[in-house]
Amino acid sequence: MKKPLLFVALAIAVACKDKPKENKEEVQEEMTETVEEKESEWTTLFDGESFDGWHMYNGGAVTEPWKLEDGAMVFYPPEERLEGTSYNLVSDQEFTDFVLTLDWKIVEGGNSGIFWAVKEDEKYGQPYLTGPEIQVLDNERHPDAQNGDDRLAGALYDMVSPSKDVTNPAGEWNSVELMINHKTNEGHVVLNGTKIVEFPVQGPGWDELIANSKFADWEDFAAFTTGKIGLQDHGDMVAFRNIKIKEL
């Protein structure tokens, strides 16, 4: 009777030894699937190779003074421009609730911005007439930095100041994440890995922010919850790359 019992014991031991290996493989498969699912949630808005998915605000295809260089879209301000002419870019698609990520780089003394909820219409000459802005700025040299902390890079422009200045110097890349979520009434800005701005996106809190800003009397400012993503021509050289969005 001893030999059969020994055989059974050995069989159980071998089975138990193999079981963790199977579990490890299953866990690895689940992790791979999770990573793939998370990646599939993101949509590339700019692939670094073409301006597909973008156009001039109230205009047509993207042309000069925007150029493609080293995987980035770069704005070169024209030496001469007709009065009233701007070269702002907007996405072809509209978005409501999302997380937007991108990198930006500004020239010394430069100014630009990132808009959301932009409404495209001939009665609006500029994206900033409807779309709130996340500031892009050379904090060290541009005079707007002296007009209040809510004008610094990463700020919700003229509405919410960044909690700290984590901006890289002009000429270096900065990574920004903008989240807008009407379902939870939350918005935030993460700059270079640090959350620096938080704000409501609707209701009394949002209305108060507008009422205390330069936009208080602007009829259609922030009037639309759904709109386009915009990149600003503020007359200074600026570059954007790695633009992705995840709808919430």
Residue 58 has pLDDT above 90, yes or no: yes
Residue 194 has pLDDT above 80, yes or no: yes
- The pTM of the full predicted model, rounded to 2 decimals, is 0.85
The tokens of 66 are what?
A: 């925007």
pLDDT digits (tens, 9 = 90+) for 134-178: 999 999 999 999 999 999 999 999 999 999 999 999 999 999 999
Q: How many Cα atoms sit within 13 Å of 78 on the Cβ side? A: 12
SS3 per residue for 170-209: CCCCEEEEEEEECCCCEEEEEECCEEEEEECCCHHHHHHH
pLDDT at 159: 98
Mean pLDDT computed over every residue of the chain: 89
Closest CA to 165 of 189, 200, 130: 189
